[in-house]
Amino acid sequence: MQLRHGAFGIAACQQAERIDAAVDRFVDRLLFFLARRLEHEVDDILAARAGAPDTVACPRCGSHHTQEISRFASTACKALYRCLDCREPFDYFKPY
């Protein structure tokens, strides 16, 4: 969304060009953020359709305060999780 001052017969000052560049960077960052957010929402929808559990209990401490790190671990039938309480990573075998 860069303004083209020359198209209107106006010679833009350098400050206007810097503002245009800052607006372009802001829009790029905003689009990147929105794309990442959408990606996570799509991942959540796909996980729900695949029957992935909402919470997985940590095998070490039993806490349900866990986070999925990777949808696929060493094989396609496992997912990699991390316990947010004891900080230990662990494999979760997916139900098929």
At 9 the pLDDT is 65
Residues 42 and 59 in one domain: no
Domain interval for residue 45: 1-49
At 76 the pLDDT is 85
Residues 44 and 69 in one domain: no
SS (H, E, C) 22-62: HHHHHHHHHHHHHHHHHHHHHHHHHHHHCCCCCCCCCCCCC
Taken in order 53, 69, 57, 79, is the CA torsion positive or negative?
positive
Residues 64 and 28 in one domain: no
Using 50 as the pLDDT threshold, list the residues of the chain that sit under it.
1
Residues 29 and 5 in one domain: yes
* Total-model pTM: 0.45
At 90 the pLDDT is 93
Query: 6 — phi, psi (to 5°)?
Result: -60, -30
At 88 the pLDDT is 92
At 50 the pLDDT is 63
At 94 the pLDDT is 83
Residue with tokens 């959408």: 38
Residues 96 and 58 in one domain: yes
Residues 7 and 27 in one domain: yes
Question: Domains in the chain: how many in total?
Answer: 2
Residues 45 and 11 in one domain: yes
